Structure formats: C-alpha cells, structure tokens
Amino acid sequence: RESTLVIIKPDAVKKQRIGAILSLYEAHGLVLEEAYICVPERALIEKHYEAHKDKDFYPSLVRFMTSDRVFVMKLSGENAVEVVREINGATDPAKARVCTIRYLYGDSVQFNAVHGSSSPEEAEAELALWFGKDQDE
C-alpha cells in the first residue's frame, strides 16, 4: 500500500472545493489517512518547490502558495501516487482531460487547484516535510 501527499491549493480552498475534491479521491478508492488546514510558512513552500527555484514562475508560485489556506492530505491506496496524478490531470487545466480535478476546478497553470507528489520517492520526502514531527514546532 502506497501513500502520497496532496495539497488542495489556495484557489480551490477559497472556492469551497475541499469536499468535492476529496470526494473524487475517495470515489477512486483512496483513503484519507491524515489531514490539516493551514496557511503555509514561506520556508516550507520554498523547500517543497525547491526543484523550481530557478524558474521564472517561482516567486509568484511561492507568493500564491503562502497567500491563504491550503488543505494538506496524506492519501493511501494501491498505486496512490499514480492514481492521484491521473485524477488531478495535466498541470495546465486547459490541457487536462475531462473529469479530472484540474479540468473541473483549475483556472490556470498557476491556479491549478491541487498538488500531488510525482513519484513514490518524492511522496516519502514530501510526507516527511508536511507531516514530519517538526511540523508543529
């Protein structure tokens, strides 16, 4: 059984889509193991998006992700990482398949409603980052 990290981003939280999005994951057999809501600290988002730190969209991405509340989840199930990415759809909502979360609730490549870990290794690192023991220190 695999676990993955999902973040419902500020755009979707603001639009009251937490329940609708969680329902889609649950309908595909994924199980919610842990969750919390928060306005992420800048340092946490910088670490989370470290791989993108040289991209031109990085400053704007960090600003967006620290601007308001996000809903952070640990979801588990068979092939959870891949299943979540299928349900999320393409990064750019304009290219996302019908019935995917980004098709339904994304507005642009930046305001694309959700994040899902991209590999089991990344999921492990991201789960430690968001659910690790230093989280509430």
**Residue 104 sits in the site that holds ligand ATP (CB under 6 A):** no
What crossing angle do the helices spanning 80-88 and 120-131 adopt, rounded to 10°? 90
**Residue 115 sits in the site that holds ligand ATP (CB under 6 A):** yes
**Residue 67 sits in the site that holds ligand ATP (CB under 6 A):** no
Q: How many residues bind ligand ATP (CB under 6 A)?
A: 10
**Residue 44 sits in the site that holds ligand ATP (CB under 6 A):** no
Whole-number Å distance between alpha carbons of 62 and 60: 5
- Of 72 and 133, nearer to ligand ATP (C-beta) is 72
Q: Which amino acid is at 129?
A: L
Q: Give me the phi and psi of 109, to 5 degrees please.
A: -60, -30
- Annotation says 48 is catalytic: no
Active site residues: 115
